[in-house]
């Protein structure tokens, strides 16, 4: 743990616990049941290697290979963004806007497939089309969807925003696209800057390159009263995106905060 602290990783204890649990192949808190046992030399080496990777800046989730999202275990590789806890609030909001009965959802920029998987898990009556520009990320999404048993209802396609979606009755379009301005790259934490895919994080000079295209095109595929919900960078961007929704003719445009109180999500309904 001292090595993690010295590398500026805070809080270091949970990360040390996760790394050790991964090496031992047990749950995080099960490591305390084994405190009186000595680590075998092979396990001690593996733990040291994992700590070295973490102190060099590699995200914990890439080292252990997974992250929990809406209660699901999502496999993570360097090809996908690590699912973030704030995005769980976007899923909750999308679910609240999905009427009962068989419905269709499109998840734009699915990455690991976490949003698509969480929606399929919560709503067995829903089918999801998960679109992803990066073929490498789409492969990870497909693996996650298959491993979780949702392959019959979630289709992952390699596609640019909504270009693969026909205008035939989507109830909800949900997206957590890249939204940071390119110039922010040097200021990002090294875990993101050096280890997460640039195409998952950066979106042009103003960060709006992908969001603007989703807002412009989603009404084409949505049923009347269907919802578009997106995650943004928060702060000024959330207002800029809400204004974009208004200009594009969405009704009931609303903003919601994430768990930290940052106004982060925008939703609207397709008008006439």
Ligand X SMILES: C[S@@+](CC[C@H](N)C(=O)[O-])C[C@H]1O[C@@H](n2cnc3c(N)ncnc32)[C@H](O)[C@@H]1O
Binding residues for ligand X (CB under 6 A): 80-81, 83, 87, 108-112, 114-115, 131-134, 137, 160-161, 176-178, 199-200, 210
Closer to ligand X at the Cβ: 161 or 228?
161
Q: Are 112 and 87 in contact (CB under 8 A)?
A: no
**Chain Cα centroid distance, residue 104:** 20
CB nearer ligand X, residue 51 or residue 138: 138
Q: How many CA atoms lie within 13 A of 196 on its CB side?
A: 23
Looking at the Cβ atoms of 178 and 207, the one nearer to ligand X is: 178
CA dist 228 and 208 (Å) reads 16
Please enumerate in sequence order all residues whose Cβ is within 8 A of that of 176, keeping only pairs 6 or more positions apart, or say none: 87, 90, 109, 111, 115, 230, 231
Give the residue with the Cβ less far from ligand X, 134 or 227: 134
What is the smallest separation between the CB atom of 36 and ligand X, expressed in angstroms? 39
Min. distance of Cβ 7 from ligand X in angstroms?
Answer: 25
Provide, rounded to whole angstroms, the least separation between the CB of residue 112 and ligand X: 6
Closest distance of CB 138 from ligand X, Å? 9
CB 139, min distance to ligand X, A? 12
Q: What is the helix (H) or strand (E) element at residue 165, kind and residue range?
A: none
Give the C-alpha separation, 239 to 216, whole Å. 16
Q: Which lies closer to ligand X via its Cβ, residue 114 or residue 129?
A: 114
Angle, helices 86-96 vs 114-122, to 10°: value is 40
| Alpha carbon of residue 62 to chain centroid | 14
Task: Please report how close the Cβ of residue 102 comes to ligand X at its closest, in angstroms.
Answer: 23
- Of 59 and 178, CB closest to ligand X: 178
Compute the distance between CA of residue 242 and CA of residue 233 in angstroms, rounded to an integer.
12
Query: Burial code of 66-94, b = ≥16 C-beta within 10 A, e = fewer?
Result: bbebbebebbbbebbbbbeebbbbbbebb
């Amino acid at each position: 743990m001292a090595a993690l602290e010295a590398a500026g990783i805070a809080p270091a204890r949970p990360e040390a616990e996760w790394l050790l649990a991964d090496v031992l192949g047990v749950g995080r808190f099960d490591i305390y049941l084994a405190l009186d046992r000595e680590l075998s030399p092979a396990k001690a080496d593996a733990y040291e290697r994992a700590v070295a990777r973490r102190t060099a800046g590699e995200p914990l989730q890439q080292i252990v290979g997974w992250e929990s999202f809406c209660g699901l275990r999502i496999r993570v590789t360097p090809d996908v963004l690590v699912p973030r806890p704030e995005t769980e609030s976007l899923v909750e909001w999308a679910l609240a806007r999905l009427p009962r009965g068989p419905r269709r959802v499109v998840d734009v920029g699915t990455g690991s497939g976490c949003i698509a998987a969480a929606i399929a898990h919560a709503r067995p009556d829903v089918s999801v089309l998960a679109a992803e520009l990066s073929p490498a990320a789409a492969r990870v999404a497909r693996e996650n969807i298959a491993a979780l048993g949702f392959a019959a209802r979630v289709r992952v396609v390699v596609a640019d925003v909504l270009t693969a979606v026909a205008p035939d009755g989507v109830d909800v379009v949900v997206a957590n696209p890249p939204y940071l301005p390119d110039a922010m790259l040097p200021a990002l934490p090294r875990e993101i800057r050096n280890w997460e895919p640039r195409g998952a994080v950066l979106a042009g000079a103003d960060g709006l390159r992908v969001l603007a295209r989703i807002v412009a095109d989603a009404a084409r595929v949505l049923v009347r009263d269907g919802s578009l919900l997106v995650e943004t960078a928060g702060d000024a961007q959330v207002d800029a995106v809400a204004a974009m929704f208004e200009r594009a003719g969405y009704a009931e445009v609303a903003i919601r905060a994430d768990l930290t109180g940052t106004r982060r999500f925008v939703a609207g309904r397709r008008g006439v």
